Structure 1
């Protein structure tokens, strides 16, 4: 009941924000407009309404809108270009070729998944700019203004991660064909400045009304991510700064969620509570809300399973889509509890998933070819359009592995080892026999964070993203960023396409 009430409150706040937006366009209501902007948004209710309009973009829904949950957007673009998942075209004629082309690094500037991602991020920035303006003009609580600015930095971070040099603006009203393009380094500097100036103004409250919102700890997690990839973005590493941000998070009382045998957990272990409904607050730093048909949806398990198998397990037909490429699946040790998420072989009822997949696109994969994944084992409410699993954006296991990586890159391998060992031991694995190598940390990040939208970024940072795989030759260097969409280039003559496209 608490969850339902919280979601209803968020929806109400988003509705108020949209109503206020509509009111501000009515030139016959000048006095009311002045009241709305200078008084209403200075109240807690008004400030929350402005922020809710931005957070609604994080959850999103269909048509490529949102951080994760549905399909054809940012999540698919960043996960299916890596090595951890792909949706093959099926020999039965199911599934478009777009996902296979992402995995084979054959994307084009005109691809709609790429365009969806671009449009979602700029719509989100528009909403964040609007929230910042409304809150500043109303002299709102500085913590609310800071939250809006951190959200804007979050979206710009995802933009430079995917596209490099991008259109940059912090005030709405500039015509789309006049927005200047800023270099990746310039936008990086803006992101760091916005975060370092604002995250300490955020609330340190964990959970409650701050579940699913940027509090101080989530702000530092975002800053750590930006610093972690600074060398990719700017050519200059910031490992010590990343480590310092992670150290702040470690003062926030977070810990690894227990991994115990538990018959009540969907995969027999309490570890998988991290990917269910209302994610545990001991480890979760920032979560994305999802309640099917209300706020977003989580399609990932349903999208993976063969139709009759989904019907047998969940009561709804699976979409027979996403598979786990065999080399990624085979990299997991048999004793690793994180391997429980994968389904391969005889599942009963005539369902038998084969390990190998002969083709992704021509003629495509057989109906039951490919390892399936139920990491996000559907949480109720559930229907044929998805489930209600919340999605982890940042969690403490990631922070521990970031601390390990930074220490190792700074020459402190022995200091790095305990952080890796904590994550391994929680998964039922032995500690490392010696100090970790970079490949040890890279592999552990893949085991722990798979399907959580970190893998492409990790592969680029560790230099593996362009490597050949079973379905493609090595990719050219320019593929470390995506092309700017054709629609954006057609709209704004100021934009320069990324090299090689």
Structure 2
């Protein structure tokens, strides 16, 4: 019987060549019965098989592996899903949240800051990202070598669009790889079978990926694609460019503020018309985190498409322990799940750090109530929770931090009202039906405003962008004198919390290692500085030993 692992060898490079080493031994490349699929089948139905292979590329960004088999070995599959793997490294060591459960030791350790090279959450994130890079490259190589047996102009046009999508998804992986690990192994579709991806300079990787994205955007300008729910396209390519250019000074030593504004303004202009004050933003913030948020995604049924890149979740057909499931159940307890959030369980694993909670726009000194819609689903002192973090022990849940919950598993309309009469399905134990927004238009507005305040545009325009965000949340508009880089940083935190931007933002602000502290930073109850080397994570030791890559300093 032909296995999918043999198909992997047939259609492209092995994952070993990317330096992920032993973390992958048998990848399912298609969500199908492997006994029914051989390379010889491809010419029988070239479009059908191409679509099935592409579907599995997308599946690797939504779940931990086809048929419930994890592609990342030697680490918890649910914790190595794409969004959750990134969340572990991007949010847990910050002032926003932490992971209380010591049963999940790698995540709990990250909550206190620097971890060793052996930390399995770091291993899981690196492996997930590199596996997804490999899958994207394999697909592109398969198209380039016509292994699917494409025959008509229609076939080739569709394949060209699929290749663009894989280049965008691969670029997304490289944003996080460059961000987390610095000088990374770089592989694209030109790397030969059996070759080890060379480790290249961080700035070189930045240049290669941004050049690819710019080329993809230009291709869309020439040959526009069709907006399809759940797929990536021009909007995601531009959104990723905004993220790269916003962080260019960190990644390369040279700022790219003007490029950030250029791409952001083009993306914003494409979405203007519908939505809050014609901005392209959803009428209400929490619509982005409701059970019917799929309507706000590109290709969704709502004319407003704030969610530029969506990770679909739908119980029972597409379920995951990452995405919206962890971002709801991770915060709450079972009683809240049943009585308020329309879910079947709660894990009691996350609380918010005090310093972050106090950044919110509270109406009272006790930080109990707020007019900010973004806090409507939080559990605070009015619900019996303490804002302080005397410990990060799961046994002290309810007395060691607020719950910074965004999601609620009900539908919401354009008036901001939950439909409590309709209960989207959920598993009695786990899983929810909300999609997860990996990238929203509000992030693009705030990124453009920040770049403008660095001299790449008008402070007046920056204020207009920020006030759209504030007023949509139900807060008063700022005057020009209210807006500075410092106040913008806090507004970005209030808008994008837990959306996998905080560590990156703090590094860009120069507040990651020194200049700002929070409870339990670097393992000290009142907080202490991080060492400079913690701006990067360690490569997993098995990757270094097998591929010969240079380890990051101090690991």
Q: Give the distance between the partners of 2:239 and 2:168, measured in 1 at CA.
A: 11
Tell me which residue corresponds to 2:374.
Answer: 338
1:358 is paired with a residue of what secondary structure?
A: coil
1:163–1:481 contact (8 Å) kept in structure 2: yes
Tell me which residue corresponds to 2:553.
Answer: 499
CA-CA distance at 1:321 after TM superposition: 1.1
CA-CA distance at 1:490 after TM superposition: 2.7
Tell me which residue corresponds to 1:271.
Answer: 285
CA-CA distance at 1:40 after TM superposition: 5.2
What is the TM-score of this pair, normalised by structure 2? Answer: 0.75
Structure 1 stretches of 5 or more lacking a match?
Answer: 1-12, 25-31, 260-264
1:223–1:245 contact (8 Å) kept in structure 2: yes
Tell me which residue corresponds to 1:54.
Answer: 57
User: Aligned ranges for residues 115-264 of structure 1 at < 5 Å?
Assistant: 115-138=123-146, 140-141=156-157, 142-171=160-189, 174-175=193-194, 178-202=196-220, 204=224, 207=227, 210-254=228-272, 257-258=275-276
CA-CA distance at 1:270 after TM superposition: 4.1
The one of 449, 453, 456 equivalent to 1:408 is: 453
Change (3 A) 1:284 1:204: farther
User: Aligned ranges for residues 305-324 of structure 1 at < 5 Å?
Assistant: 305-313=332-340, 314=342, 316-324=344-352
1:159 is paired with a residue of what secondary structure?
A: helix
- Could you give the per-residue CA deviations for residues 429-488 of structure 1, whole angstroms, max 9, x where no partner exists? 111122421112211111111111111111111112224322131011111111111221
Q: Give the distance between the partners of 2:290 and 2:181, measured in 1 at CA.
A: 31
CA-CA distance at 1:103 after TM superposition: 2.3
The one of 78, 81, 89 equivalent to 1:66 is: 81
Q: Give the distance between the partners of 1:98 and 1:279, measured in 2 at CA.
A: 36
Q: Give the distance between the partners of 2:95 and 2:226, measured in 1 at CA.
A: 34
CA-CA distance at 1:291 after TM superposition: 1.7
CA-CA distance at 1:425 after TM superposition: 0.8
Change (3 A) 1:174 1:46: closer
The answer to whether the aligner puts 1:86 opposite 2:113 as a matched pair is no
Tell me which residue corresponds to 1:300.
Answer: 327
Q: Give the distance between the partners of 1:179 and 1:101, measured in 2 at CA.
A: 30
Change (3 A) 1:280 1:483: same
Q: Give the distance between the partners of 1:462 and 1:206, measured in 2 at CA.
A: 37
What is the TM-score of this pair, normalised by structure 1? Answer: 0.83
Q: Give the distance between the partners of 2:33 and 2:126, measured in 1 at CA.
A: 22
Q: Give the distance between the partners of 1:499 and 1:255, measured in 2 at CA.
A: 49
The answer to whether the aligner puts 1:381 opposite 2:425 as a matched pair is yes
CA-CA distance at 1:257 after TM superposition: 4.6
Q: Give the distance between the partners of 1:85 and 1:255, measured in 2 at CA.
A: 35
CA-CA distance at 1:112 after TM superposition: 0.9
- Could you give the per-residue CA deviations for residues 333-368 of structure 1, whole angstroms, max 9, x where no partner exists? 122111213111253xxxx2222121125xx65132
The answer to whether the aligner puts 1:395 opposite 2:440 as a matched pair is yes
User: Aligned ranges for residues 466-485 of structure 1 at < 5 Å?
Assistant: 466=513, 467-472=516-521, 473-485=528-540
The answer to whether the aligner puts 1:431 opposite 2:477 as a matched pair is yes
- Bigger drift between 309-318 and 296-305 goes to 309-318
CA-CA distance at 1:205 after TM superposition: 5.5
Q: Give the distance between the partners of 1:224 and 1:18, measured in 2 at CA.
A: 40
Please report the RMSD computed on the Cα atoms of aligned residues, expressed in angstroms.
Answer: 2.7
Structure 2 stretches of 5 or more lacking a match?
Answer: 1-27, 65-76, 151-155, 298-303, 362-369, 411-423, 522-527
CA-CA distance at 1:254 after TM superposition: 4.3
Q: Give the distance between the partners of 2:405 and 2:448, measured in 1 at CA.
A: 28
Tell me which residue corresponds to 1:442.
Answer: 489
Q: Give the distance between the partners of 1:324 and 1:397, measured in 2 at CA.
A: 22
Q: Give the distance between the partners of 1:18 and 1:122, measured in 2 at CA.
A: 25
